Structure 1
Amino acid sequence: MKFIRPRLTHSLRGRLLWYLLAAITIAALAQASIAYRTALHDADQIFDYHMQQMALSLRSGTPLSNTEAQRRLQAQNEANEGQAGAGSDDMVVQMWSPDGVQVFHSVSRAKLPQRAVLGFSNVKANNTVYRVFSIQTENQTVQVAQDLAVRRNMAGNLALRTLGPIAVMMPILMLVVWWVVSGSLDPVARVRSQVASRQADDLSPVSEAGLPDEVRPLVHELNLLFGRVKTAFDAQQTFVADAAHELRTPLAALRLQAQSLERAETLDARKLAVSRLTAGIDRATRLVEQLLVLARQEAAANGAAARPVDLADLARRTVADLAGVAAAKGVDLGVHQADPATVEGQPDALHILLRNLVDNAVKYTPAGGTADISVRKDTGGISVTVEDSGPGIPPEERERVFDRFYRVAGSEAAGSGLGLAIIKAIAERHGATLVLGQSERLGGLSATVGFNA
């Protein structure tokens, strides 16, 4: 036979109600048990005292006749009825002479054994248990007995009287607990209702008014998460809008160049149109590549795991990658200084950072100029500097060039205005600083990325 295990509810309201109501029930049962035991103990004390008093009242220096014994027993029973409600039917009295002859037995159908243990004792007889008190004098032995069921019944009645108010209050207390728990969790239900009724694009904060102290931090963190998601959505929308705007111009230029190629009548005009079309395609390709790199870097901000990266080796590889481009333009590209330096970071992202810095230096340096990369390590930290002998960037525009698609006015080099934005995003993700200045050695732009040691 397969038993199905009951499933514990995951509802906070349900758990609180179950636990509190169970606690109330257990407390009531414990109170009932304590009340019954206390009442039984009190009844034992009272009846033992009455039995003792009855036996002492029947004690006499001379043997009692049946009439005299019956009279004294009746008087003691009347006194007991006034004190504890115990009548003559509750007690069984027997008396023996010194030679063991029973001289008196109270009117009762209960027959007790013909033996007596002085003092109090419990005796099994007639399928029940009797509480017996015996006392002996020179002339007689007196035994008073009582069925323990009488005491249990009395204790039960007293316990019921004690538990009566508790039984009445239990449902009221349960209703109060249900009302308090439900009222305390109403703010949580309100927050759930607010979140459930929202549209997908509604990222406004959830109201924290009236929330319990245990729930308010959770809702506060939820609002912070909404804020971060909203910032990410806004950045994505801005990125898409900017990308669409920037792609519109090169695509329009490509259309015009294609039309010029179609209208070209001579071979020279056709060659010129083809070269312009090819250059436009290259610029559009470069813009798309930069957009993809930027989007990929933003999406992978927390994806790739950090590991040790040798910046000196990375600088040499970057120079080797762009040596052909620099030679074709007539720019002297090299590594000016390469101190051994290792940082924790994402190798691919740092390679893109150095590649964009060196590529910008080569692109904006005129033919015959110089572009160098330096890796320095000192007590202040680790820095990577790319310098060139180009025109540089005016101080008033050095902050704006980090904006997406922004290009310095009058710049002759082709570009998308995304290189420095990508570099800044990667540097910030690695906790590094990016500072633009003027190279004292070469006279052009100096771009320094500083890492903490």
Structure 2
Amino acid sequence: MKSGLQRRLLLLLLVPLGIFALISVYFDYQTAGSVALQKDQQLARLIPLLADSVVGPGITPGGREPLLLLAPAVDDFLKGRVGSAGFRISDAQGEFMAGEDWIPDLLPATHETEFHSIEHKGVTYRIAAQRANTAAGGLIVQLADGSDPRQQWVRSVLIKVLLPNLILVLAAGFALNWAVTRALKPLIELKDAVERRNPRDLSAIDPLATPAEVQPLVSALNRLFGLVNDQAEGQRRFVADAAHQLRTPLAGLQAQVEAWAQAAKVAQAAGSDGAVTLSAEKIIKLRNATRRTSQLANQLLALSRADASAAGAQPMQRVDLKELCESILPLHLDAAMRKGIDLGLETQPAQVSGHEWLLRELLGNLVDNAVKYTPPGGTVTIRCGRVSGLIASDAPTPPVPGSSGAGQPRWGFFLEVEDDGPGIAPNERGMALQRFYRVQGTAGEGNGLGLAIADEIARVHHSQLELDYAGTGPAGPYGLRVRLSL
């Protein structure tokens, strides 16, 4: 926008200045031509007087120089232009007789005055030549004038017109560039503010903070933001309502299927026939499908609640990360024990500003994923604590508990889940955070929403999930470490 609009404004302002400069050059040339015409007319008036100045033939024995008595007007002309004017008197064949010999011999064809231009020692002279009948006979008289403004026009226009106009245009260009840059600064700030916005931030722009000429555009953008926000809000409400309405019948169905599965296991343990065994296997498959459907509904509801634009409007509270980890651990102990997984806890005292219910959802999803995809006999560890060192990023960070905030160093805290499962390759980590994406070759069942929900919650807390390998062994990197910095 700066390179386009600013360039157009500068061109629209500088082009008229350039045109004015050319017009000034043209009028200066016209003025020089008028003055030159007057000079030619002056030479035409003085040529007859120069011819009359020849009062007789030469009196020197053997000499050719005629007897001269310069007319007062001619004498004044020559004395007033010492070094830039001269005359020459030649015979009818052009042979030099008197005056300046550097003036070339010109042979007018008639008795009319002819004008010529010559250059001598860097000076351009205007020469008037005429055949005249004098007291010494028919002679050729020439009068030279080196002050012709038209002949000196290029030099004078360069020094007196073009150079000042060029300096004026350059100075005006710098001044206009500064003025246009200052004038466009609100537009540049508006552009930068829109570019820095999170794609999910559809809040209105303050029209009063923009110039009056841009306020209609800002109002149109605000209307567009409002329409998009209403549409997104409608989609969120639909997902939330659908997920909420599905929870109750799914919970009832899951309860019934769980009861059937338990009864089938009892019958199978009692040594029933093959038909009962086949029926028990079908019921167990139905139970697993019902569990996945119920989990999907719960995750869709959590995803809707974790939306950045919806959760960001709610005030943050003080959250004890250690207490949060300790409350999540018992919820996943049974699933970990069924697979023989060592589910552990490594916590340090840590308090942050955030949404407690969202962080609980995030940690629950991370632990559930770790337990689900870690092979039997593996290890899953939940951690929280303080980051060693100052935070280097510009992301909003809560102050250290008990500090005044201003002038205090801002320390970071983290929430982390680590497992020794298959891990996620670096080229798939970005896609793994997308909704409904599952890493190729992953064992177990899932909907591809766990990490997407966790990433959405991280955005609400002005952060992002950091995925990395848990370690490196003889066979290469292994495991997955998911960290949230707060």
Superposition TM-score tier, normalisation by shorter sequence = 0.3 to 0.5
TM-score (norm 2): 0.43
- Pick the structure with more helix per residue: 1
